[in-house]
């Protein structure tokens, strides 16, 4: 390699302001569990529903989650570690207790009225 | 717990460099790209004119029946398929696969001249969705330029594949997004736009010095100027989305980079009709879902047109080529938008006409062809969208691959998609820490149009007026790029895996061949040792093609989403 410019470009200030730096993250690696404000429906509408259609009620890029035959451990594991080229891993974004809430949500899924 | 977002990547594959070909790449510079010599394909869009057209006619409507596979190349590790547009210069074909694997191949034989596999941050890639596919490389000054999913741009020696420089441009660990789009080379500068759209960030477009790799400038597509900042209420610019994930082009007459920008985040807003003051991101949200003209040297915004002010439907302008035309002494730029409309501009991006390519559009009633103003727009509130499905589907009336303009027939060949979606709008909060997460804003599902079945079509139209000459239909929308040639041919690689050749004048099918798996990437033509070749990438999978198996079944059920091949045809 002749010359290697590895400087990280100036980040948008606002994003930095609301983000942990890499070093800070290393000191406190577990994202603060915020289970009170955590809203699984919102998580689906924001992130999961992009692939799991109708809030998990129908197949899309990802399979239907309503009535899934998978056991809780499988579901937890899939959400944590994802699957290469299919589903992203969420172990950094979601805490164990949040993932438990997602499992509860998936188990309670019913077809939408109307 | 592991501090994964600091982890800098597993040792993957060390770039193998090996020079075995006598083919000598001459320098590709701006003048050569402008001249668009018939033997080469020098940019993602062919040349700065963005015609996706080859002046070669050795393969033509008379002999296309004799077309057969000359050679193939398997890039390996084609996670989410093979989506790139090859380029070719002096008989050498360059292309990229998933994980930004880059290959230089002898265009006549497929012999590998060199390959380069950058070592990527695999832990990061496991957390990305729009990853790890790569859509192409750029050529210039004896170098090959390629972006990576972990936010870097590489300058490789075009003769050896050796890394000449490497520049980290974006903090993908934090922002999750990286580079999948091909860069653009112009006058000593390499331009590349980051992903954005559904990701809470500010979607920068970068310019880098082609010789040193040093960053020259950065333009923020979200609130990149003081004026634009005022179009994002409640500080929503902090998480606005944007980006410019596909390459634009360069207009040397005005020294301007023309680029299309992505949608704002969340994709779907709950503002209702008062989107200027209510909802997730009150205001017009400049410069998202816009076409912008940036000064090549400074990155300063010269002019723009926001195709969809306050885009509430994810119909961004990052898709779509910039077709540079001249008619009756007037110069035009034709740019398709994901919503299914084709915008016709002058060279300063002032609207000259707008015409619909697809039938099933209802996010607006129409767009004023004189002013570009949206008429009768649908702005949703929280809850289920009941009156009728939203058309087109999130995949767009027009996808990100390119159409083709043929100066011999004067026709623009472009694929359109007829599909819609059901939608349940929900309030979301952008997640930016510890790592940015998707921000969609709705639960949704693909649905047929109110008028009937889902289908796709290739249209042959006048690019300025939109007048249709002929149309070919497909049961499922094709997603690849289109190629037309001076041999009076139009090539369409479809989703089922069939490559079709049509008569450019009337759409009659003259030849087809199975490539064994679905297409969703590029197709080019070039010449090596005096012989014409057609090169197409095959390999399905990713954000749109993953919808095909559950919705269409059939051949898509068994179609791999982690495989791909470059297939090169010539006359027997």
The answer to whether residue A99 sits within a structural domain is yes
| Tens of pLDDT, residues B68-113 | 999 999 999 999 999 999 999 999 999 999 999 999 999 999 999 9
Q: In what order do the strands lie in the sheet with B531-538?
A: B67-73, B565-571, B531-538, B523-528
Instruction: Please check whether residue B395 touches A, CB under 8 A.
Output: no
In three-state secondary structure terms, B414 is strand
Instruction: Please check whether residue B124 touches A, CB under 8 A.
Output: no
The answer to whether residue A91 sits within a structural domain is yes
The answer to whether residue A95 sits within a structural domain is yes
Q: Identify the pLDDT of residue B147.
A: 98
| Cβ separation A46–B438 shorter than 8 A | yes
* Cis ω before A55 (30° cut-off from 0): no
Question: What is the DSSP-derived secondary structure letter of residue A7?
Answer: P
Determine whether B121 is an active site residue: no
Q: Is the pLDDT of residue B206 over 60?
A: yes
State the average pLDDT over residues B310-323.
Answer: 97
Distances (CA, A) of B113 to B28, B78, B82, B162, B524: 18, 20, 20, 12, 20
Phi, psi of B229 (to 5 degrees): -55, -35
Distances (CA, A) of B124 to B5, B8, B72, B331, B452: 7, 8, 31, 44, 42
Summary mean pLDDT of chain B: 95
Which has more confidence, A33 or B62? B62
Q: What is the CATH number of the domain that holds A73?
A: 1.10.760.10
Using pLDDT thresholds of 50, 70 and 90, give the confidence band for residue B536: very high
Percent of chain B residues topping a pLDDT of 90: 94
Calpha distance B403→B466 (Å, rounded): 14
- Tokens 């045809």 belong to B569
| Cβ separation A5–B543 shorter than 8 A | no
The answer to whether residue A114 sits within a structural domain is no
Using pLDDT thresholds of 50, 70 and 90, give the confidence band for residue B7: very low
Q: Is the pLDDT of residue A6 over 60?
A: no
Q: How many other C-beta atoms can be found within 10 angstroms of the C-beta atom of residue A15?
A: 19
Q: Is the pLDDT of residue A11 over 90?
A: no
The answer to whether residue A73 sits within a structural domain is yes
Question: What is the DSSP-derived secondary structure letter of residue A15?
Answer: H
For chain A positions 69-108, those within 8 Å of chain B (CB to CB) are 81-82, 84-86, 88-93
Percent of chain B residues topping a pLDDT of 70: 95
State the average pLDDT over residues B26-48.
Answer: 94
| Tens of pLDDT, residues B126-146 | 999 999 999 999 999 999 999
Side-chain-side CA neighbours of residue B497 (13 Å)? 20
User: Using an 8 Å Cβ cutoff, are B346 and B330 in contact?
Assistant: yes
The answer to whether residue A74 sits within a structural domain is yes
pTM more than 0.90: yes
Distances (CA, A) of B164 to A75, B98, B160, B203: 45, 21, 10, 26
Q: Identify the pLDDT of residue B19.
A: 36
Q: Which residues of B297-326 are buried (b: 16+ CB within 10 A; e: fewer)?
A: eebebbbbbbbbbbbbbbbbbbbbbbbbbe
Q: Identify the pLDDT of residue A112.
A: 82
| Cβ separation A15–B434 shorter than 8 A | no
Which has more confidence, B394 or B10? B394
Q: Which residues pair with B306 in a beta bridge?
A: B290
B424 neighbourhood in chain A, CB within 8 Å: 45, 54-55, 112
State the average pLDDT over residues B557-569.
Answer: 98
A86 neighbourhood in chain B, CB within 8 Å: 546, 561
How remote is the C-alpha of B367 from its chain's centroid? 23
| Cβ separation A26–B6 shorter than 8 A | yes
Q: Identify the pLDDT of residue A27.
A: 33
Calpha distance B223→B290 (Å, rounded): 12
Q: Identify the pLDDT of residue B15.
A: 37
The answer to whether residue A13 sits within a structural domain is no
User: Using an 8 Å Cβ cutoff, are B170 and B128 in contact?
Assistant: no
Q: Is the pLDDT of residue B18 over 70?
A: no
Nearest residue of A to residue B440 by CA position?
A46
B237 neighbourhood in chain A, CB within 8 Å: 14
Report angle CA B49, B287, B418 to the nearest 5 degrees. 65
Which has more confidence, A24 or B254? B254
| Tens of pLDDT, residues A58-107 | 999 999 999 999 999 999 999 999 999 999 999 989 999 999 999 999 99
The answer to whether residue A12 sits within a structural domain is no
Domains in chain A, number: 1
State the average pLDDT over residues B445-454.
Answer: 95
Q: Identify the pLDDT of residue A24.
A: 32
Q: How far is A78 from chain B (nearest CA, A)?
A: 12
| Cβ separation B434–A41 shorter than 8 A | no
Q: Identify the pLDDT of residue A23.
A: 32
Calpha distance A18→A5 (Å, rounded): 27
Phi, psi of B83 (to 5 degrees): -120, 10
Range of the domain at A25: 21-108
Which of these, B353, B341, B323, lies nearest to B391 by C-alpha position? B341
């Amino acid at each position: 390699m002749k010359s290697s410019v590895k400087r990280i470009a100036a980040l948008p200030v606002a994003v930095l302001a609301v983000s942990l730096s890499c070093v800070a993250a290393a000191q406190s690696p577990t994202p603060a569990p915020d289970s009170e404000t955590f809203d699984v429906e919102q998580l689906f509408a924001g992130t999961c529903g992009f692939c799991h259609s109708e809030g998990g009620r129908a197949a899309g890029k990802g399979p239907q989650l309503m009535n899934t035959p998978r056991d809780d451990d499988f579901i937890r594991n899939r959400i944590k570690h994802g699957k290469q080229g299919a589903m992203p891993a969420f172990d950094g974004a979601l805490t164990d207790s949040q993932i438990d809430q997602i499992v509860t949500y998936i188990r309670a899924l019913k077809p939408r009225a109307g | 717990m592991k501090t994964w977002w600091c982890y800098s990547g597993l040792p993957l594959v060390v770039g193998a460099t090996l020079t075995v070909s006598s083919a000598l790449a001459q320098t590709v510079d701006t003048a050569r790209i402008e001249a668009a010599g018939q033997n080469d394909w020098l940019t993602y869009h062919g040349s700065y004119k963005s015609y996706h057209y080859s002046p070669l006619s050795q393969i033509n409507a008379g002999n296309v029946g004799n077309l057969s596979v000359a050679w193939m190349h398997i890039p390996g590790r084609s996670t989410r398929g093979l989506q790139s547009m090859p380029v070719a210069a002096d008989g050498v074909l360059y292309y990229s696969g998933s994980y930004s694997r880059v290959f230089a191949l002898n265009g006549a034989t497929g012999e590998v001249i060199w390959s380069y596999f950058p070592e990527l941050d695999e832990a990061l890639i496991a957390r990305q969705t729009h990853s790890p596919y790569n859509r192409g490389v750029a050529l210039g000054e004896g170098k090959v330029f390629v972006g990576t999913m972990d936010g870097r741009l590489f300058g490789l020696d075009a003769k050896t594949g050796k890394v000449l420089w490497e520049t980290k441009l974006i903090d993908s660990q934090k922002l999750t997004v990286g580079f999948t789009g091909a860069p653009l080379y112009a006058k000593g500068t390499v331009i590349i736009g980051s992903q954005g759209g559904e990701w809470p960030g500010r979607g920068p477009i970068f310019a880098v010095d082609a010789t040193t790799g040093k960053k020259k400038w950065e333009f923020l597509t979200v609130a990149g100027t003081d004026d634009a900042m005022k179009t994002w209420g409640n500080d929503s610019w902090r998480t606005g989305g944007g980006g410019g994930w596909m390459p634009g082009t360069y207009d040397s007459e005005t020294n301007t980079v023309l680029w299309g920008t992505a949608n704002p985040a969340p994709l779907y807003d709950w503002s209702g009709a008062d989107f200027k003051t209510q909802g997730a991101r009150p205001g017009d949200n400049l410069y998202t879902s816009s076409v912008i003209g940036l000064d090549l040297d400074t990155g300063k915004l010269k002019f723009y047109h926001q195709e969809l002010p306050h885009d509430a439907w994810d119909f961004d302008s990052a898709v779509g080529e910039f077709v540079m035309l001249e008619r009756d002494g007037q110069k035009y730029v034709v740019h398709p938008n994901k919503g299914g409309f084709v915008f016709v501009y002058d060279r300063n991006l002032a609207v000259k006409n707008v015409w619909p390519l697809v039938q099933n559009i209802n996010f607006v009633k129409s767009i004023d062809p004189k002013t570009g103003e949206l008429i009768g727009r649908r702005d949703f509130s929280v809850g289920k969208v009941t009156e009728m499905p939203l058309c087109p589907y999130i995949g767009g009336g027009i996808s990100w691959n390119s159409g083709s303009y043929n100066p011999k027939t004067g026709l623009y060949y472009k694929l359109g998609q007829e599909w819609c979606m059901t939608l349940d709008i929900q309030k979301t909060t952008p997640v930016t820490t510890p790592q940015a997460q998707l921000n969609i804003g709705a639960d949704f599902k693909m649905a047929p149009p109110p008028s009937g079945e889902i289908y796709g079509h290739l249209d042959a139209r006048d690019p300025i007026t939109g007048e249709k000459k002929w149309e070919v239909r497909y049961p499922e929308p094709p997603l690849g790029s289109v190629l037309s040639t001076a041999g009076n041919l139009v090539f369409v690689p479809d989703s089922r895996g069939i490559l079709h050749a049509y008569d450019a004048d009337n759409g009659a099918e003259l030849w087809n061949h199975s490539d064994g798996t679905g297409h969703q990437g590029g197709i080019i033509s070039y010449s090596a040792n005096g012989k014409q070749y057609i090169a197409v990438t095959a390999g399905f999978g990713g954000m749109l093609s993953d919808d095909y198996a559950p919705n269409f079944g059939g051949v898509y059920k068994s179609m791999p989403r982690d495989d791909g091949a470059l297939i090169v045809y010539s006359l027997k």
